Structure 1
Amino acid sequence: MNDILKTSPNFTLEAAVDLLKEHYGLAGKVSPLASERDQNFKVESAEGTFILKIVNAAEPAVESDFQTALLAHLATHAGDLPVPHIRPTLSGESLVSITNTHGAAHRIRLVSWVKGEPLAKTDRSEAALESLGRMLGRFDAALKGFMHPGALRDLDWDIRTAARSAGRLSHVANAEDRALVERFLKRFTTVASRLPTLRAAVIHNDANDWNVLVDDADHDRICGLIDFGDALHTPVIAEVAIAAAYAGLNHADPIGATAAIIRGFHAEYPLLEEEVDLLFDLISMRLITSVTISASRRVNAEDNPYLTISERPAWTLLRKLDRMNPRFATAILRKACGFEAVPGARAVIDWIETNRKSLAPLLEKPAATYPAALVPFADPVHPMTIASAAERPDEAQAIWEAYCRETGVELGIGPFAEERTVYAGEMFVSRFIEGARRTHHLGFDLFQAAGTRVFTPLAATVVSVEVERDPLGYGCLIALRHEPEGCPPFISLWGHLAHEAVNRLKAGDRLEAGALVGEMGAPKENGGWAPHLHLQISTDTTLSATEILGVGEPRYLDVWAELFPDARTFAGITKEFYKRQGRSHEEIVKMRRELLLPNLSISYDKPIKFVRGEGVWLIDDSGRAYLDCFNNVCHIGHAHPAVVEAMARQAATLNTNTRYLHDNIVAYAERLTATLPKELTVAGFVNSGSEANSLALRMMRAHTGRENAITLDWSYHGTTQELIDISPYKFRRKGGKGPKPHVYIAAVPDSYRAPSDWPIEEHGKRFAESVAEQIAAMKAKGEGPGFFIAESIASVAGQVFLPEGYLKEVYRMVREAGGVCIADEVQVGFGRVGSHWWAFETQGVVPDIVTMGKPIGDGHPLAAVVTTREVTDSFNNGMEYFNTFGGNPVSCAVGLAVLDVIEGQDLRGNALAVGNYLMDAFRDMQKRYQAIGDVRGLGLFIGIELVTDRKSKAPATEFARAVSNGARCRGVLMGTEGPHDNVLKMRPPMIFSRRDADHLIAVLEETFAGVEKTLG
């Protein structure tokens, strides 16, 4: 104690006045300022306001020199920083030596007074704390490269020496407080070993709220930084930790306060992720240092309030920090700097979005295919609120079933980030923000009946299987770890499951994609909830199942959204589910009637409004996804990225007509004709299948000089009048006027409906006789055929596959009679049959003209005619052929992209393999359903003909329509064709997979069973 008295400065006011006059030539009002080791006086003079510091005699001279050098450096390199500036003595010195009454040598320094009010006297707004961070960042940035021997000192307030607190632990009287300190010290052993690897520099090291000044007129702006007595060389991140430790005292949201400081600091002095990751522990250890030093000094300095002024709030803050999960606190701080909440979080989110098409269905069918609705938890009167289910757990299942019957809903969805006032228990009190609650749902809920099985969309390893038995708990809770290639590992959490999984799964088990995880539990075993799955993703794989937050504070939703990203994509729910856009169905129907041609038809009794297509799926405005097995226009899938990219790139470069030279049109013609027999070498480009067939007729007339047509019954070739005239599907139905004199109709070569006494090997020849009859009828008039036109597989007529040898015989007869043969490949071409590029090739023939459209551009308006050189020469009769848009650079770029995808991904091979798989399944169904009279198909062009009696083959039109509508209700699109609309028509995209096929098969099985039960 005597040594302390000898070294501590204890000068009177009068002595301070004399020192000022003697060394600085100043006079004015002098008043004492509080200080722990040194003695400070405020000096108000005519020349300005200053602080006179009398340094403790025990302080080595090198330390006083260090502070002087630091201030001089700042004055030179950052003169605009609001920090004290040294006032030299009359002799020009920065420091002066004096002696006290005990003979101890002191040094004095005079610095300018920094105007402002201590931050401690304000409410420490978030803006002020961010401003503080900026000030400290600027300060430390200005000291880069500065070094002085005095900065390399040993100091208990150095964050690196925080472990010394263990030696002061005995002075902490309360056993619980000692245990708390020990917990933080134990964590610090790991942190301490990482400190030497961090960036170090000279820092202020004591930015407490008494050393930080705010503008008198604007408390949100930091205007000064004072007191450099603790400055030293140490890890840079300690600057933020110390400021945050003091800012958190008596603050309702200490981590939020820290986030504001670090956000400002990072803007001026960019931090590294490894520095931010240690911040929570460094804040804690600054507080531990403070409370243990205070405890050890209390006995010797009970009359010095400076030592104990912050001890009580420091303990309070330490207890708050002890209750927090450091991982979550660190995530908040990382996010404040613009880093990911946890490394790899955004990569996980991006990977799931990019690979969503390859994820296995979470439910028996893809979740997006169910009629779904939000379960409005926020609506207190809705029968499916959490509250009602919790209050009446025994009735929850019945409540759900009644709701589904009333609304037609099959799947309920509880969204991510929804505010739920039901979270009222003590467990939902925030551990970060005083007085706040966790109210926002961080999982994703799927509601179906108890017992509904759920499957993992990705291969996984079981991390844990446990049961929470608390009311409103998770019931059976399963955590899975996923490690897909090209993606950081992540956890999926499955809650409210039935307890059966406990005996079936254990930690370490391997689950393949599509494997069973569990079943939705009944209220009695799922925590008292209506049956549902709580699904959640955690990008932090270090968290245990029970540590993963199911509910979070709204203030930190941006953080939670990276730690626990919305699992809707993982579950298979589309983005369109959440927000309908555009006009209502009723409004569109009304406007169509008013503005569009009235005979423009709409599919289904209840029209569908589609807003997006993706691959094999069409998504309606409610977010429901339909498996598209019908619209063969999008040949390689809806919105194929290769097509979209090619279209956009060329459209952004050039689009013009064919009167100018361009590479694309000749490149595409070369590629397209290469897929055809060698005789077919010349291409012409148009915009639709109808245009292609019209151009083919012009070529035919120029080559033959004839008009007479032979067409198949119930065929369809386009929308123009001349094509309607050769389409019995149109002119023999309502509004049609029958065949024109030049049109001759041959029988549909339908082997299924051939006379029973015809040998199968003679079907082709026998059906060809109908064409021979038409040629004979023409000859009887002294005329001959101009052309024969037929789809290579009769689609509108009911997916009719031509019997073997049919086209070979027909083409021979037509050509012998002077006509040309046109193959309409608009619906069946481009590899759809799998075995060949073109369906006519299955007949072993080469047409004179081939027309193509629909799939050629994957939805882009593009079509083509390819013919022989002989027909081309006849067409080149002096009349120009020009098509404004046909063959433009954009269309040809699209066509090339489609060919690239078909060839590059072997989609013909896929069509054949998946088509065969479907045919096998449908033929197996045929054994069980008497209504299936015939199954026919090749590749991905398939028809199922339905009959009331297999012997009579009477068409089952009502049954077929019921199946088509039933499949539509179950989320699968198909059509009915044929003269009696009794043939189910399926033409899915060429990318159709085995999994898609399994979905189609399952829906048809369910639909057939339902229709058979209803109709008998």
Structure 2
Amino acid sequence: MTIVNNPRPAFSSAEARELLRAHFGIEGGLTSLPSERDQNFRIETADGQGFTFKIMNAAEPLSAIEFQTALLRHLEGCDPDLAVPRIVHTIGGQDYALIDGADGRYAVRLVTYLAGHPLAEQTKTPEILHGIGRLLGRLDRALASFGHPGAHRSFDWEIRTAPFSRERLHAVADPEQCRLVENALDIYDSRVTPLLKHLRCGVIHNDANDWNVLVADGRVNGLIDFGDAVHSPIVAELAVACTYAMLDEASPIETAARIVAGYHAEYPLQDTEFSVILHLIMARLTISVTMSAARRLGAAEDPYLFVSEKPAWDLLRKLSAIDHRIATGILRQACGLEATPGARRIREWLSANRRNLAPLMRPHPARQAKHVLNLGSLDEPLAAASAAQDNDGAERAYAELVREHGFTLGLGPWGERRIIYTAPFFESVLAEGKRRNVHLGLDIFAPAGTEMFTPLAATVVATTINPDPQDYGGLILLEHEPEPGLRFWTLWGHLDHASARERRIGERLEAGALVARLGDYAENGGWVPHIHLQLITVPYEDLSIIPGVGEEAFVPVWEDLYPRPYDFAGLTSEAFERNGRTREELIEKRRERLGRNVSMSYRTPLKMVRGEGVWLIDDAGRTYLDCYNNVAHLGHCHPNVVQAIARQAALLNTNTRYLHDTIIDYTDRLAQSLPKELDTFFIVCTGSEANDLALRMARTFTGRNDMLVLDWAYHGHTQALIDISPYKYKRKGGRGRPSFTHELPIPEVYRAPIVGTPEEIGHYYAEEAGRLISGLPSGHAPAAFIAETIPSVAGQVFLPPGYLKSVYASVRAAGGVVIADEVQVGLGRVGDSMWAFEEHGVVPDIVTMGKPIGNGHPLAVVAVRREIAEAFANGMEYFNTFGGNPVSCAAGLAVLETLEQENLLANASEQGAYLLDGIKRLQEKYPAIGDVRGRGLFLGIEIVRDRATKEHAGDPASRISNRAKELGVLMGTDGPHDNVIKLRPPMILKREHADLLIQILDRSMADVLQ
């Protein structure tokens, strides 16, 4: 490579004035302008015109002079409004003139003068910096279509000559400065050189220094001096401009970011170009500082050459300490891009797959009671003790918080502004005088020795032990690639030292495998035992340089480079941010606004804010396995149902006086699941509406009023249903059994008054029912018999074989109709059949269904024989404003389709059998379990004082239910004595959920019964 650097011309002002008059016919005042290789003068004519007169050494190749001229002519034609000088012709109409001087030939050229002051004399405002970038971007965009042989030259200031700076290192006397240059050049060789062939190249200005950028009225007004223009990597344009603008700046990377943002807005950069900007700035600095050192060694006297020497060394020192990944991220994000390509995809993948990841710890952190710690204020004892490295004080403060708030896990959130980082290494390298105080990971506080597991398969990348106070202690870096091309890393800090030593580089860990254990004060840097878990989206060769704390100014960058690891840890946002009223406020408001008899579950009510599948999530981000709320038949917020509701709601929702397809699509599909005799449908909104309508139909069809019910039954909240619900009219506030309601004994096998097989017990109860029906007083013949196929509030009672068939026959013989209330037990919940009545070999005259058929959407159905429906059509219109509306029908159709697509009836059978076996094993362990009964995902556990006498024991059942709630599983109690634990988990329950339910039942019973 030939390096071209010819001596600078040295004409006197008088000589220059004569050249100007002779060749351009212009006279005026001359002012010398600084320049390294050419000689420049500012010209002011008597009539106020301004020009720049340039004298160039013609010993340089003529093609170089012609190149600059052609460049300016190209810009004039391509972008006439671009703020750059315009060529003024010689008297002879030429672009420049060649002259003879005392020591050789020279070229002279005249261009228009741009108004303004050099940036070197102005304050670098954000607007000006952005303007520099915009001007350069616009310039390079215009030059993209320009080429010239003279552009292909090499001289000291072309960025690709940076490696030649090593040849000038002998002139650098200071060893530290030598190391800075060598480090920058090593980085160039390793990170830039391999990418040169991938970088866009073109003609660039290559010298947007503070004297070549002009400012007027607070705005960038022009760019001058194209003497260094060259064919080079286009991104070098930015590197040069940023280098000069960053000198003497407290936060040089923010200065560069504003220039890069302006450039990118005009001429978008490519990913590879972003990745080398910092390296090229450092390369430009090595050229500058070694050039100055070499010229100083040669006793050069031109102060222009040394004006930036000290600031350049200072800047090189600052940039050498900056992580290039962070610098690149800052520059990219200033341009509106992700700080690193793919960061958004990683976050979205983790969000979508959070529920499928293995638990980070046991129990799963989402299921544990949590409390967000405050480490951002010295008013908090824990923060103050931690900042002072007072281990005893921190331990006492943490223990006090646990006692006060009753949590098992303390949380230190991502992004918290903390005051506890007092060690010197927390000083910022990005901005002078600033400290790093923004937490870039998730802290989970738990006892020393707590085991931590990887939620995803991983490869061990690095391990180390950092024993210094306020450092990490044991430290492990894992790499994850859950799908091709989706790669990220996790940092695990504050571990015990043995954990760090046990892991091997390259070791493969499957999802759920043990990673490490939490260290104590002596091993974890002197902190209250916890893990610092950090997500990383850029690769690191050295884990010790990964920042765990960052500056406040760059929080959006940290969001991309080190995103919140909440999804990776299986935590929801509610664990960190509470919205709305507190639980206490809600309880008080309910007293003010709601009726006093609107009940709440559990001794300590829960505030639920979200549901996901089998889980309910409270306002503190704790997840509960929901084994109680049967309305969410497919689990909470099943995506199929949510999407169906959203699609239809966005299209049409109106009442059933208008025709719409969805109601027919739904009832056609529903009819396929029912016996052919039940061929007529009424769509309503709730189970109570469905049962109320069924009573009206039965009474209209038979002309009778009396009803047969099972003792302790519940069928709804309308007055007509309260009158046939012993569960309501027998209890406090009830008015007793109406004369038209007749109770049949609950046919429970467990408490049957006779000893025999289930079939014999069923026959016994059926005969009792038959005698009661036949013995009804005159005028009280039944209109109907209504019963839940599995009585629920009566205590999850499973009717004995043969009972229902016999009772149905007796009712029909008495002229009544039979109604199966399948609100709770229908739609596949029993597993082996779609409807619970099918297991008894009967076909009801009317079947009622409730909100589970819409997965909680207001949808209920009455399926009835045609002749009963016809009798009901007696001239009185039936109209339900929104029963059967298109949105509800779409929800119901999605439920039916999902049951089939996901094979959920078989799942209910399989998981129900597994649960039943597990609970029966608990029965062997706990004598208080009198009976275990269930089918599919509808189960009951009866708690007794004495298994031999079957004496009722209601309070322990309630205490078990409340204890299970404290441990993270929701269940309820029912039965006449409230001694039956009832379980109705969603149809999507999986084996791991069943195992959790059994585990929590075991622990709850141990805590209450033993």
In structure 2, the partner of 1:45 is 45
Aligned residue number for residue 688 of structure 1: 686
- Check if 1:761 corresponds to 2:762: no
1:1009 aligns with 2:996: no
Counterpart position of 2:35 = 35
The answer (yes or no) to whether the contact 2:207–2:241 under 8 Å persists in 1 is yes
Which residue is 1:107 aligned to? 107
Match of 1:375 in 2: 373
CA distance, structure 1, for counterparts of residue 544 and residue 384 of structure 2: 21
- Name the amino acid aligned to 1:921: G
**Segment of structure 1 superposing worse, 81-90 or 659-668:** 81-90
Which residues of 2 match residues 485-564 of structure 1 at below 5 A? 485=483, 488-502=486-500, 504-564=502-562
Q: Which amino acid aligns with 2:914?
A: Y
- 1:854 paired with 2:843, answer no
Please state how far the C-alpha of 1:386 moved relative to its aligned partner: 6.2
Whole-angstrom distance in 2 between the partners of 1:594 and 1:12:
94
Report the CA distance between 1:459 and its aligned residue.
2.3
- Post-superposition offset of 1:613: 2.0
Q: 1:899 aligned to 2:896?
A: yes
Query: Which secondary structure does the structure 2 equivalent of 1:298 belong to?
Result: helix
What is the TM-score with the length of structure 1 in the denominator?
0.96
Q: Distance in 2 between matches of 1:155 and 1:755?
A: 108
- 8 Å CA contact 1:389–1:528 kept in 2: the answer is no
Structure 2 Cα separation of the partners of residues 721 and 6 of structure 1? 105
Q: Give per-residue Cα distances to partners, 1:478-508, cap 9 Å, x unaligned.
A: 2222221367121122222233424543333
In 2, the alpha carbon distance for the partners of 1:454 and 1:937 equals 37
What number of residue pairs does the alignment pair up?
1005
Q: Paired residue for 1:277?
A: 275
Tell me the amino acid that sits aligned with residue 385 of structure 2: A
Question: Displacement of 1:822 after TM fit?
Answer: 0.8
Alignment of 1:222-301 (within 5 A): 222-300=220-298
Supply the distance in 1 between the matched residues of 2:265 and 2:982 (Cα, whole angstroms).
62
Cα distance, 1:398 vs structure 2: 4.7
Distance 1:874 1:351, change over 3 A: same
Q: Matches of residues 47-62 of structure 1 in structure 2 within 5 Å? A: 47=47, 48-62=49-63
Task: List alignment gaps of at least 5 residues for structure 1.
Answer: none
Following TM superposition, by how much is the alpha carbon of 1:45 offset from its aligned partner in structure 2, in angstroms?
Answer: 0.9
CA distance in 1, matches of 2:687, 2:244: 76
Q: Which amino acid aligns with 1:781?
A: S
- Alignment correspondent of 2:208: 207
- Distance in 1, matches of 2:59 and 2:485, equals 59
Equivalent AA in structure 1 for residue 280 of structure 2: L
Counterpart amino acid of residue 958 in structure 1? D
Q: Distance in 1 between the 2:730 and 2:974 partners?
A: 15
- Contact 1:390–1:528 under 8 Å retained in 2: no
In 1, the alpha carbon distance for the partners of 2:283 and 2:5 equals 31
In structure 2, do the counterparts of structure 1 residues 296 and 550 end up closer, same or farther at CA, with 3 Å as the change threshold? same
Does the 8 Å contact 2:55/2:108 carry over to 1? yes
Q: Report if the CA contact (8 A) 2:381-2:394 is conserved.
A: no
Q: Distance in 2 between matches of 1:550 and 1:411?
A: 21
Q: Does structure 2 retain, via aligned residues, the 8 Å contact 1:390–1:472?
A: no
User: Aligned residue for 1:621?
Assistant: 619
1:151 is matched with 151
Q: CA deviation at 1:8?
A: 4.5
* Other-structure match for 1:412: 410
Match of 1:722 in 2: 720
Decide whether aligned partners of structure 1 residues 487 and 1000 sit closer, same or farther in structure 2, where only a CA change above 3 A counts.
farther
SS at match of 1:753: coil
Q: Which residue of 2 aligns with 1:931?
A: 928
Counterparts of 1:504 and 1:233, CA distance in 2: 54
Q: Which moved more, 1:532-541 or 1:485-494?
A: 485-494
User: Once structures 1 and 2 are overlaid, which stretch shifts more, 748-757 or 617-626?
Assistant: 617-626
Q: Is the 8 A contact 2:790 2:825 kept in 1?
A: yes
Question: What CA deviation, in whole Å up to 9, does each residue of 1:932-954 have, x standing for no partner?
Answer: 11111111111111111101111
Question: What is the CA–CA distance in structure 2 between the aligned matches of 1:1001 and 1:868, rounded to whole Å?
Answer: 42
Question: 1:397 and 1:77 mapped to 2: Cα distance?
Answer: 71
Asked if the contact 2:688/2:716 (under 8 Å) is kept, the reply is yes
Equivalent residue for 1:888?
A: 885
Give 1:6 shift: 10
- SS for the counterpart of 1:384 is helix
- Do the aligned partners of 2:500 and 2:516 also contact (CA within 8 Å) in 1? no
Query: Contact 1:389–1:530 (CA<8 Å) still a contact in 2?
Result: no
- The whole-number CA distance in structure 1 between the counterparts of 2:618 and 2:391 is 34
User: How far apart, in 1, do the equivalents of 2:489 and 2:892 lie?
Assistant: 43
Q: Distance in 2 between matches of 1:934 and 1:386?
A: 55
Contact 2:463-2:501 within 8 A present in 1 as well:
no
Cα distance change of structure 1 residues 634 and 487 upon mapping to structure 2, 3 Å threshold? farther
Which segment drifts farther, 586-595 or 844-853?
586-595
2:260 is matched by which residue type in structure 1?
Answer: I
- 2-structure distance, mates of 1:135, 1:237: 14
Describe the superposition over 1:237-276 as per-residue Cα deviations: whole angstroms up to 9, x where unpaired.
Answer: 1100111111122222222221111111000001111111
1:346 is matched with 344
Instruction: Describe the superposition over 1:269-327 as per-residue Cα deviations: whole angstroms up to 9, x where unpaired.
Output: 01111111111211111111222222333344521222222222222222222222222
Q: Which amino acid aligns with 1:142?
A: A
SS of the aligned residue for 1:55 comes to: strand
Answer whether contact 1:442 1:566 (CA < 8 A) is retained: yes
Which residue matches 2:963?
A: 966
C-alpha deviation, 1:408, in angstroms: 1.6
CA contact (8 A) 1:277 1:334 kept: no
Q: CA distance change for structure 1 residues 515 and 8 in 2, over 3 Å: closer, same or farther?
A: closer
CA distance in structure 2 between the partners assigned to 1:497 and 1:98 by the alignment: 76
2:865 is matched with 868
Q: Is the CA contact 2:215–2:222 (under 8 Å) kept in the aligned structure 1?
A: yes
1:462 maps to which residue?
460
Number of the residue aligned with 2:746: 748
- Post-superposition offset of 1:704: 2.1
Worse overlay, 285-294 or 870-879: 870-879
Letter in 1 for 2:327: A
What amino acid maps onto 1:566 in structure 2? Answer: R
> What are the equivalent positions in structure 2 for 1:900-919 lying under 5 Å apart?
900-919=897-916
Q: For residues 337-396 of structure 1, what are the alpha-carbon distances to aligned partners after superposition, in whole Å with 9 as ceiling and x for unaligned?
A: 233222221111111111111122223223233222211112324232263486332464
Moved more, 995-1004 or 920-929: 995-1004
Match of 1:400 in 2: 398
Kindly report which structure 2 residues correspond to 1:989-1000, keeping only aligned pairs within 5 A, or say none: 989-1000=986-997
Equivalent residue for 2:563? Answer: 565
Give the counterpart letter for 2:67 in structure 1: F
- Per-residue displacement from partner, 1:756-779 (whole Å, max 9, x unpaired)? 52333312111212311221222x
- Counterpart of 1:365? 363
Partner of 2:164: 164
d(CA) in 1 for partners of 2:194 and 2:459? 33
Corresponding letter in the other structure for 1:107: A
Q: How does 1:78-97 map to 2 (within 5 A)?
A: 78-97=79-98
Whether contact under 8 Å (2:488, 2:537) holds in the other structure is yes
SS at match of 2:301: coil
> CA–CA distance in 1 between the matches of 2:681 and 2:716?
20
C-alpha contact 1:397 1:449 (8 A) present in aligned 2:
no
1:697 & 1:634 partners in 2: Cα distance? Answer: 26
**Conservation of the 8 A alpha-carbon contact between 2:964 and 2:971:** yes
Residue ranges of structure 2 left out of the alignment (5+ in a row)? none
Q: Deviations over 1:578-597 (max 9, x none)?
A: 33333343443333333333
1:912 corresponds to which letter in structure 2?
Answer: S
Alignment-mate amino acid for residue 792 of structure 1: T
Corresponding residue for 2:833? 836
Q: Which piece of structure 1 moves more, 317-326 or 483-492? A: 483-492
Which residue of structure 1 lines up, in the alignment, with residue 944 of structure 2?
947
Three-state SS of the structure 2 residue aligned to 1:496 is strand
Whole-Å separation in 2 of the counterparts to 1:586 and 1:398: 28
Task: State the distance in 2 between where 1:630 and 1:292 align.
Answer: 76
Aligned counterparts, 1:588-599, within 5 A:
588-599=586-597
Selected match of 1:986 from 956, 974, 983: 983
- Describe the shift of the 1:520–1:224 C-alpha distance in structure 2 as closer, same or farther (beyond 3 A): same
SS of the residue 2:772 aligns to: helix
Partners of 2:755 and 2:761 within 8 A in 1: no
Alpha carbons of 1:857 and 1:7: their partners in 2 closer, same or farther (altered >3 Å)?
A: closer
Cα contact 1:814–1:821 (8 A) shared by 2: yes
The one-character-per-residue Cα deviations of 1:5-24 (angstroms, maximum 9, x if unpaired) are: 99653222211222222222
